[in-house]
Amino acid sequence: MIRKRTILITGADGEVGHGLIERLAALPERPSIVALDVRKLDRALRPMVERLIIGDILDTKLLETLTTEYEIDTIYHLAALLSTSSEFHPETAHRVNVQGTINLLKLAHDQSQSRGQAVKFIYASSIAVFGLPDVATKQAAGMVGEDQYLNPITMYGCNKLYCEHLGRYYAQHYQQLSATRSIGVDFRCVRFPGLISAVTMPTGGTSDYAPEMIHAAAQGKPYASFVREDTTIPFMAMPDAIHALVTLAAAPREALSRLVYNVTSFSRSAEELAAMVQRAFPQAEITFRPSDARQGIVDSWPLGLDDSAARADWGWRPTYDADHAFNDYLVPTIVELYRGAE
Which residue ranges make up the site for ligand SER (CB under 6 A)? 82-83, 126-128, 156, 192, 194, 205-207
**CA-closest candidate to residue 122, choices 1, 256, 265:** 256
Q: Which amino acid is at 284?
A: A
Residue (192 or 326) nearer to ligand SER, CB: 192
By beta-carbon proximity to ligand SER, the closer residue of 86 and 103 is: 86
At closest approach, how far in Å is the CB of 157 from ligand SER? 8
Considering the complex, what minimum distance in angstroms separates the CB of residue 93 from ligand SER?
Answer: 11
Give me the phi and psi of 181, to 5 degrees please.
-60, 135
> Least distance from C-beta 126 to ligand SER, angstroms?
3
- Closest to 238 (Cα-Cα) out of 189, 199, 280: 199
CB of 82 to ligand SER, least distance (A): 4
User: Longest C-alpha distance within the chain, in Å?
Assistant: 68
- CA separation for the pair 121, 141 (Å, rounded): 31
- Sorted by sequence, the CB contacts under 8 Å of residue 123 that are 6+ apart come out as 77, 101, 163, 164, 167, 187, 188, 189, 190
Residue 190 beta carbon to ligand SER: minimum distance, rounded to whole angstroms:
11
| Residue nearest ligand SER by beta-carbon distance | 205
| Closer CB to ligand SER, 82 or 185, in the complex | 82
Q: Which residues contact 189 (CB under 8 A, 6 or more apart)?
A: 122, 123, 124, 125, 164, 167, 259, 260, 261
Between 48 and 241, name the residue whose CB sits nearer to ligand SER. 241
Q: Within 10 A of 163 (CB to CB), how many other CB atoms are there?
A: 25
> Which of residues 72 and 303 has its CB atom nearest to ligand SER in the complex?
303
